[in-house]
Structure 1
Amino acid sequence: MDTFDLKTALTLLPVMSDDETSVKQLVDNIQYYNSLLTKQECKNNLIKFILKSRLSRSAKLRLQDDYSNVEDLVSDMQKELLPRKSAAAIQSKLQKLRQNDMPIADYGKQITELFVDLTISQANGNTEYYNILKTVNEKQAIKQFSDGL
């Protein structure tokens, strides 16, 4: 895209609330829209639009007033607005989880969520580590699922 389109931005970028899901959704959509823009002027307009109209009040206090590029904005949003999760704590929780009287679908969902959180936490934002960690953690999650039944 050669221009920043306000209508597209309004549709694609939701107004953030302070919950983790809305922050993740906004970050993902920012990254997607940024990948479509080619001109730096358009990317600057995207940054201004996000800072002025898409962030919650508390997020505006925790982020800078201006950014030179979208990647820095996204990085700060991930660092400042998303809770940090300890890989050791997640792994411990994964190892202790048992089905007990929980429906199997709910048990599987919890195992999956812990697997995803563990992989993200261990990768620490480095996308190169995701594929390696995903394979290792997936095997651990499958084993834990069967052990916990």
Structure 2
Amino acid sequence: MQTITIELDIQAPAHTVWQCLTLPEHITGWNFAHESWHCPSAESDLRPGGRFSYRMEARDGSFGFDYSGVFDDIQAEHSLHYHLDDGRTVAVELLPQGGNATLLRENFQADAQHDADTQRNGWLAIAQNLARYAERQYAAGNRA
């Protein structure tokens, strides 16, 4: 299985990014690749062995799916490792960049159904939504 890596600079401290990345009330605010989609619900038992499920749906109701799996390793404000229900693994790292900047690095195993560029672009679009959301939260004084 091919592993794909994306990286993105976020102008918010790791603490804020972590809260936005892991708390259901924040996940629903950014977890979609395009404005025609949304994440109407998110559940998360943030502990090793805990399950998560994020509902992703087209806003017009034409399609939806659950992005779900189990957390494997959690280092608060630093890294999050999990596996999806289909067995693929994901590793997320938050790397402080000085000041209030954080580098988000995600490594994920590609699925066999879509080409690598499509998957990279989709995951990058979702990460960009996370970045904008976390930056807005930080700028608004919501240190999450």
Under a length normalisation based on structure 2, what TM-score does the superposition of the two structures give?
0.24
TM-score, scaled to structure 1: 0.23
Which of 1 and 2 has greater Rg? 1
Determine which structure has greater relative contact order: mean sequence separation of CA pairs < 8 Å that are 6+ residues apart, divided by chain length. Answer: 2
Comparing both structures, which one devotes a greater share of its residues to strand?
2
